[in-house]
Chains A and B, each alone.
Chain A
Amino acid sequence: MSEVVVRAVEAVDELVVDGEGVVLLGDASGGRVVRLSPLGLAVRSLTRDGMPLGALGAHLAAEFGVPEHGDLEGAVRAVVDDLAAQGLVEVESEVESEVASEVASEVEVGSEGGGA
């Protein structure tokens, strides 16, 4: 089994104003703009070159604190899934294995229903 890696999707443009931001995704054929909270901006910034979910959680906990219910991994996973659903990050397995492939495939299905 391998740990899931989160990677920011390359954007056409990004603008940050007072700690919040907008991201333009797309290509020459069209684009869409998504608004990002400070937490979303941090996830994209930290995962520019890819980052394992566990390490991402540790960085986010250091910056934003641990969720009240204490389930850091679950909270980070929810944030990542939400961003993935909006096309802002991709979730991939670090090393291909049977279990990891199942995880990645679940994420992919979950990502298809998202939108801006």
Chain B
Amino acid sequence: MPTVPSPRAHPGPTASPAVADEVVDLHALGARLALDLSGLPVEVAAAFRRAWQHCLDPRAGGADPAEEVDAGAFVVAERFGEALPPGDEDAPARMLMRATQGITKALIAAQAGRVLMLHAGALCDPTTGAAVVFVAPGGTGKTTLSRTFGTSLAYLTDETVAVTADGRILPYRKPLSIRRDPHRGLKDEVPAAQLGLLAPRAQPWVAGVVVIRRDPAMVGVAVEPMDVLDAIVALAPETSSLPLLARPLSRLAELGEATGGFRLLRYAEAVDLDPVIREITGRAR
């Protein structure tokens, strides 16, 4: 991994603002990742900063800056720049897509063995922090749920939920990947605020965990309590670096026990989940 100088090493009376802006620190999942934007076209660098605006605040990742895990650094243009051929108008969006994947990978690697990480989305009551965690494989409804309920509940992530040993969630308020055209693979990386999604005003904590399965044939929602061992078998493939965690199976079991048990939700449309999501995010700690 190439190292990059900290932006704090550059500023001085003679430093140009453009240089100072070229490195950004992202704060997410309780980790800090330094990204050097130098070499990127100005408009692409601006689009990058806009997309990641919710991860620029030093406390956005849920950890005190002094306790943040160092996720390293990389030069975006070096890592993803080949996706920017001149004259290709889709190239910036493609590069941002790839950068999102790379950033997620780096953050997860930094937290491996430290926190329980679930491939899931999460929303919380903005004032109490009571969060519903919805576990599902990629491409099966997490972003849609985040968009559907994130205008009244706070958006925490649509990708990876990091849970500490005491049940806190370390937010990963990444841009949401919104498909530009249903017939093409291209997605736009859109910051939550642009979609009207709310931000948490309290420390988020896990109030409930559900496994979601979209089934277009369903009418309404079916809520099925899960046996803890069945739940662990279902959840394990949707975790990251589980074997590196201390007592990983007990951690999963304790998470279910502390939140009233895991439940499987079968549903056709995201709005069908409203009663379940409201019940969970209405809980008190």
Closest partner residue, chain B, to A13 (CB atom): B249
Q: Is the CB of B236 within 8 A of A28?
A: no
In this complex, how many residues of chain B approach chain A with their Cβ under 8 Å: the count is 16
| Most B CB within 10 A of own CB, among A17, A22, A26 | A22
Q: Is the CB of A33 within 8 A of B249?
A: yes
How far apart sit A30 and B236, CA to CA, in the bound complex (Å)? 10
Q: Is the CB of B229 within 8 A of A20?
A: yes
Query: B82 in the interface, Cβ–Cβ < 8 Å?
Result: no
Query: A15 in the interface, Cβ–Cβ < 8 Å?
Result: yes
Residues 1-52 of A at the B interface (beta carbon under 8 Å):
12-15, 17, 20-22, 24, 26-28, 30-35
| Most A CB within 10 A of own CB, among B228, B230, B242, B253 | B242
Q: How many A-B residue pairs have CB under 8 A?
A: 46
The majority secondary structure among interface residues of chain A is strand
Q: Please give the distance in Å from A112's CB to the nearest CB on chain B.
A: 21
Selected from B230, B241, B248, the residue in CB contact (under 8 A) with A13 is B248
On whether A33 and B236 interact (CB within 8 A), knowing A12-B248, A24-B248, the answer reads yes
Q: Is the CB of A24 within 8 A of B229?
A: no
Q: Give the size range of A's interface with the partner.
A: 10 to 19
Q: Is the CB of A28 within 8 A of B243?
A: yes
On whether A22 and B248 interact (CB within 8 A), knowing A17-B253, A30-B243, the answer reads no
List 16 A-B pairs, Cβ < 8 Å.
A13-B243, A13-B249, A14-B249, A15-B249, A15-B250, A15-B253, A20-B229, A21-B229, A22-B232, A24-B242, A24-B248, A28-B243, A31-B236, A32-B237, A33-B233, A33-B249
B interface residue numbers (CB < 8 A to A): 228-230, 232-233, 236-237, 241-244, 247-250, 253
